[in-house]
Structure 1
């Protein structure tokens, strides 16, 4: 299964240290032309040729949707990196060429006459940076609540404060300035929308507060900045159409294993189990579902799985690929 999305070559024209663990990369089209248009909340997928094979990571676009001469992404160096963040931090230099997908938006803003309430945790600030450009340009009513462990570890705080001023509310945990999402959602008007991006614990806190206060799900929106599931036992995936057997390591996803093998093309827009583009039929075996896309009934039916996050329940699974 492939969406046949054409990739693009971009040149890294600037690398900045946004915080001790976060680097900002500025990218321009390798041919010098304009880049495809995008909307606030969009992401691109960066293809990285590491020693262990190709890795594809999704990163939110930080820059203004009104400036298409360049894209900007931020990459946090992860201690338990599968190779992507380590590659970007240690092997990519200014002047290098990277291959990226066109922008896609799984976390768009929703038109409303009410407030747009943005809640970010850590690196989860990234999709909101392009969204705030749109909101400010349109004259919308919005506010940002940005929670982080300490100002020294946070990225873009001064930049956000200078550009958006009173729209920004910073919550520095090292100073005891915690973000009380229950109190925040209690103040929501009937036309307000809330958006949250960050650790799973923050997303769940907003979901729980919203449910307790009876806020309609249509006015609660979230995006995880990284998959919330860890690895598991190694197993084998069998491609039913060719009979090819591919080993999947304990800390590897089925999608990564198939991409490293290279025998079949599979597209995935989010790589976090939310968009459904990598849904594949199960021919034999059962999945350990870890996605947020399939319903509980669909998961119990075991007819398909999202191979970007879900795993085999057992030592072998046969997929319709």
Structure 2
């Protein structure tokens, strides 16, 4: 059921300040062996050990060339309301630091059936597309990247995109300069075999999803990724642990994992806490769930068989899970 990952140790070999809020980290295996193979759009889980033995786990897209396995690169944005992980990466991690990361997983791969790839990035959402651009080099399938950000200084990796091999395929949209992406115009001219990919803040993902629907683009041709989990929303409910019969109250604004951990009711493994790794997948015994993860497919969500405890919630007043 739940996904499993191999974890291994890496050393930070380079740190670059890409924008005032984004750093690029280069990681290499401590044992000198090649990194595990990956495909464009993949992510890894990074574990960081803070003070008082507190462990942070965040998912980050791999942005380096999948053909070069001597190292990985990730981009980390310092979040204003950091749960600890991004602040740790920015404030504590330097060249020579050791981290533990997972083997890669890909929930955002390029679709092999696409006749055209339309990539739409907002802010830090540029990172998965950088590895995909490497895959698209020399491809017969046309592609284009549309990259939106607030102001020139927040356009991470803008220079290398504009000056590199993909320069003629990249368009930049800068809010402060009144250059804004016209989604309706973009979608109006797409062929029926074009696929749309979007990564960035939730408002951008929602705008792309809504715009694609209005343009008649089938859901199967629209792909999105958003690592920052939406805040837990929805009313309080009763959670029943099916194996013990123990009942817990999951309050509004609280996740199921938090409710379980607050009273040490059960041991739950979860690497990412953002609905992308799959390690906390748990069977639903009674009740229905509002799914907020990105791990399960739409069909799996509709089947109401399993859920991710880190982000999803009960749809009603009571939920029984196999724990």
Aligned residues, how many?
Answer: 319
CA contact (8 A) 2:232 2:254 kept: no
CA contact (8 A) 1:124 1:225 kept: no
For the residue of structure 2 that corresponds to 1:215, the secondary structure is: coil
CA contact (8 A) 1:255 1:266 kept: no
Q: Which residue does the alignment assign to 1:13?
A: 13
Q: Which residue does the alignment assign to 2:136?
A: 135
For the residue of structure 2 that corresponds to 1:194, the secondary structure is: strand
For the residue of structure 2 that corresponds to 1:57, the secondary structure is: strand
CA contact (8 A) 2:270 2:310 kept: no
CA displacement at 1:13 relative to structure 2:
0.9
Q: Which residue does the alignment assign to 2:200?
A: 198
TM-score relative to the length of structure 2: 0.84
For the residue of structure 1 that corresponds to 2:172, the secondary structure is: strand
* Worse overlay, 51-60 or 22-31: 51-60
Q: Which residue does the alignment assign to 1:85?
A: 86
CA contact (8 A) 1:55 1:256 kept: no
Alignment of 1:143-154 (within 5 A): 143-154=144-155
Quote the Cα distance in structure 2 between the aligned partners of 1:262 and 1:58: 26
CA displacement at 1:222 relative to structure 2:
1.0
CA contact (8 A) 1:16 1:25 kept: yes
TM-score relative to the length of structure 1: 0.85
* Worse overlay, 157-166 or 307-316: 307-316
Quote the Cα distance in structure 1 between the aligned partners of 2:90 and 2:200: 21
Q: Which residue does the alignment assign to 2:71?
A: 70
CA displacement at 1:275 relative to structure 2:
7.0
CA displacement at 1:305 relative to structure 2:
3.0
1:213-249 deviations in Å (ceiling 9; x for gaps): 2112222111113213346789896655467899989
1:87-130 deviations in Å (ceiling 9; x for gaps): 11112121111111100000000124622110001111010000
Q: Which residue does the alignment assign to 2:211?
A: 209
Distance 1:4 1:216, change over 3 A: closer
1:34 aligns with 2:25: no
* Worse overlay, 178-187 or 58-67: 178-187
CA contact (8 A) 1:2 1:265 kept: no
Quote the Cα distance in structure 2 between the aligned partners of 1:242 and 1:8: 35
Distance 1:320 1:51, change over 3 A: farther
CA displacement at 1:297 relative to structure 2:
10
CA contact (8 A) 1:224 1:272 kept: no
Gaps of 5+ in 1: none
Q: Which residue does the alignment assign to 2:269?
A: 266
CA displacement at 1:317 relative to structure 2:
6.1
Quote the Cα distance in structure 1 between the aligned partners of 2:88 and 2:240: 29
For the residue of structure 2 that corresponds to 1:166, the secondary structure is: helix
CA contact (8 A) 2:268 2:280 kept: no
